[in-house]
Amino acid sequence: MHCRFPYICVTWLVLAGLGRLAAENIVFPDDAGVIDVTKPPYSAKGDGRTDAAEAIQQALLEHGNGNKIIYLPNGVYRLSTTLRWPNGENETSQRATILQGQSREGTRLELMDYSPGFNNPGRPRPMLWTGGEHQRHFRNSVRNLTLHTGVGNPGAIGIQFKCNEQGSIRDVAVVAGGKRDGVTGIDLGQVDYNGPVFLKNIRVEGFDVGLRTAFSVYSVNVESAEFVGQGAAAVRNRGQIVNLRHVRSTNAVPTVLNTDATGMISLLDSEIAGLPAKRPEAALQNRGLLFVRDLSTIGCTNLSVTNLIENDAGTGQQLSAALVDEYFSHRPFNMFPAPFHTLRLAVKETPEVPWDPLNRWASPLQFGGRPDDTRDDSAAIQAAIDSGASTVYLPNGTWVINAPVEIRGNVRRFLGCEAKVFLGGLQGGPALKVMGPTNQPLVIERLEVEPANKVLIQHEVNRPLVVASCLGANVTWPGPGELFLEEVQSAGPLRMSSGQKLWARSWANSFEGPKLVNDGGEAWLFGLKTALGGTLIETTGGGKTELLGGLCNSSGVWKADPMFRIRDSSAVFIIGESSFNTTPYQTIATEVRGAQTRALVVPGPTVDQPLPMRVGGVALPLYSAFDGVGNVVPRIAQPASGKAGRP
């Protein structure tokens, strides 16, 4: 039959190869400061026979907690025990460690069959473990590899992952070796205070549960993921804020179990396949807050589905349908007349820039720059940029930038090999100015910035800019070019003006004051996390803002400002709050239309229909504000027995 959601169908072609070609042969220059575990003194063997656990673990122990890339070239690395991120002093443990393969298909970590300690599902054990309970697991990542749990290991977990503020699992497959083996593919719920975590281009095959999340803070953001052949559920969530986009579940078991009242799930642009003709249980089971947009079932067909959504919270609305336009488990809110649906701003995927061959790379080492000293490296970095290379890299270490550097010419990737940049002598100005050519996307990625209150990037021209996997990356934006943020932590405000467009995925802001000021632009946010006081988002000047899933951690002093401000503009917000120090936001939104001002305040507009509460704060299932100009016409609502309607 005709596919109602063609962009969903195309997603799986992207996942199958086109969108990942740039990430499938990750190699670094010899002087990049990358720790290759196959070289002395570790000499790990990827021959598919030798136990490599001790060698890889030694590399982790000697180079953990220091922004190092522990690199595995293509090969099969057999493991007899868990690989563990190393301890440090106080809250410096289990952080800033990156396990990096050469390619998802070519680099394989494989648990030996019938490994001791992995035989008891009641006491499961991970192949990879990245951290415990503290809240400073910054910059942990696992990239471009496959984990296989072997045969006869029913108590195996693929990855128990912990990170905070900025960290990710990217281009990773996790495969259960035996048909009935494996407890969890990716476990993000082993300890509290996990996130924001960004998962992108992942595939989980088998296990009882594909992805497990738990606890009420912080948040998990997943984009482009496949779950196949799970025994109990593709995704099981207890209390966490989880945002899912471009997910495909091929399973006879539920795709989502949202088991706790504080859990919030947003599911966008996704597909459920492999459904039995008569389902014994619902594909999506909810006891918290659930938002679904553009969900297709059983491929892209119009076959009916019995009991698609089982909702035991909010409105209690159940749903049987083959296609879902928009569904909300709880009553939405508005202050002025506005339809209860999202803005449906155009969503652009983060541009992919191919990974260049090494003969097109240059670094400031070639021009007199040196990391880990106090000398200014600005001139050497500029010389590397002007050398004609298309990739400029900063070898691992700390680089000093005292004068602005222009990224121009042929450069399309500015890569920190998990390096630090110290913005020493800059007096409020940017370290990196983005210049031409305007027709080529530019990626700036894998950097840690000190001090975090200074400006790293100024985006000056009409050029698509991607900022990814950066900690402390503040951006100013005077130019007209599109901006993509992906797995970025900032410590300063971002201001937009008329005509500018932002797509932000897994973006964390931790500072006092307004986080995003959108004066006439278009901002689409998927997985925002904020901390400390100040208005999260201001939308003015006819701007349009769409926040589809986020967490407001209401730390800091009493909140005098509203969480959101809207003035004669359009905005949609879906977000949950947590407050452990009794200082939650009292005003959730103030909205101005002409001479009228109205506010959404706690406990809500009416006594009988208050805002839902979670963890000392509120949960906002949908706040809808439309200015009536240039917005997408809402789709026709249908009753619950047909296509998804809106509350």
pLDDT band at residue 15, thresholds of 50, 70 and 90?
A: very low
Give me the pLDDT at residue 639, please. Answer: 31
Residue 136 within any structural domain of the chain:
yes
220 forms beta bridges with 197, 242
Joined tokens for residue 423:
């913005």
Give me the pLDDT at residue 180, please. Answer: 74
Residue 337 within any structural domain of the chain:
no
Range with the lowest mean pLDDT among 193-197, 386-390, 595-599? 193-197
* Type of residue found at 529: K
Domain boundary among the residues 207, 226, 258 is at 207
Joined tokens for residue 445:
């990625």
Element containing residue 383 per DSSP (H, E): helix 378-385
Give me the pLDDT at residue 434, please. Answer: 97
* Short-list 154, 70, 163, 139, CA closest to 109: 70
By residue count, the chain amounts to: 647
Residue 24 within any structural domain of the chain:
no
The mean pLDDT value for 389-415 works out to 97
C-alpha dist (Å) from residue 645 to 141, 177, 396: 39, 41, 52
Give me the pLDDT at residue 322, please. Answer: 83
88/536: higher pLDDT:
536
Does position 6 have pLDDT exceeding 50, yes or no?
no
User: How many distinct structural domains can be found in the chain?
Assistant: 2
Give me the pLDDT at residue 540, please. Answer: 97
pLDDT band at residue 13, thresholds of 50, 70 and 90?
A: very low
203 and 179 in contact (C-beta within 8 Å)? no
Give me the pLDDT at residue 345, please. Answer: 97
* Type of residue found at 588: I
Question: Residues 6 or more apart from 416 whose CB is under 8 A from it?
Answer: 393, 394, 445, 446, 447, 448, 470
Give the rounded distance of the alpha carbon of 337 from its chain centre: 33
Give me the pLDDT at residue 4, please. Answer: 39
Residue 77 within any structural domain of the chain:
yes
Give me the pLDDT at residue 558, please. Answer: 80
Give me the pLDDT at residue 635, please. Answer: 43
C-alpha dist (Å) from residue 250 to 205, 212, 365, 423, 499: 10, 17, 49, 48, 40
The mean pLDDT value for 268-276 works out to 88
589 forms beta bridges with 564, 600
The mean pLDDT value for 612-626 works out to 93
Give me the pLDDT at residue 559, please. Answer: 85
The mean pLDDT value for 480-494 works out to 96
pLDDT band at residue 297, thresholds of 50, 70 and 90?
A: confident
pLDDT band at residue 642, thresholds of 50, 70 and 90?
A: very low
Does position 143 have pLDDT exceeding 70, yes or no?
yes
Buried b (16+ CB within 10 A) or exposed e, 567-586: bbbbbbbbbbbbbeeebbbb
Does position 619 have pLDDT exceeding 50, yes or no?
yes
Q: What is the DSSP secondary structure assignment for residue 378, as one 8-state letter? A: H
Cis amide leading into 493 (omega within 30): no
Domain of residue 466: give its range. Answer: 393-625
Give me the pLDDT at residue 572, please. Answer: 97
Does position 471 have pLDDT exceeding 60, yes or no?
yes
Q: How far apart are CA 73 and CA 77, in angstroms?
A: 10
CATH no. for residue 191? 2.160.20.10
Does position 278 have pLDDT exceeding 70, yes or no?
no
The mean pLDDT value for 337-366 works out to 96
Domain boundary among the residues 178, 207, 236 is at 207
The mean pLDDT value for 291-316 works out to 80
Residue 491 within any structural domain of the chain:
yes
Q: How many CB atoms lie within 10 A of CB 280?
A: 9
Give me the pLDDT at residue 637, please. Answer: 35
pLDDT band at residue 438, thresholds of 50, 70 and 90?
A: confident
Range from 287-296, 304-313, 556-565 that averages highest in pLDDT: 287-296
Does position 312 have pLDDT exceeding 80, yes or no?
yes
Residue 176 within any structural domain of the chain:
yes
Domain boundary among the residues 157, 192, 207 is at 207
Mean of the per-residue pLDDT values of the chain: 89
pTM: 0.93
Does position 429 have pLDDT exceeding 90, yes or no?
no
Give me the pLDDT at residue 634, please. Answer: 43
The mean pLDDT value for 166-187 works out to 94
Give me the pLDDT at residue 1, please. Answer: 27
Q: How far apart are CA 444 and CA 454, in angstroms?
A: 17
Residue 123 within any structural domain of the chain:
yes
The pLDDT > 70 percentage for the chain reads: 89
Residue 342 within any structural domain of the chain:
no
Query: Per-residue pLDDT tens for 229-267?
Result: 999 999 999 999 999 999 999 999 999 999 999 999 999
18 and 46 in contact (C-beta within 8 Å)? no
Strands 613-614 and 617-625: antiparallel
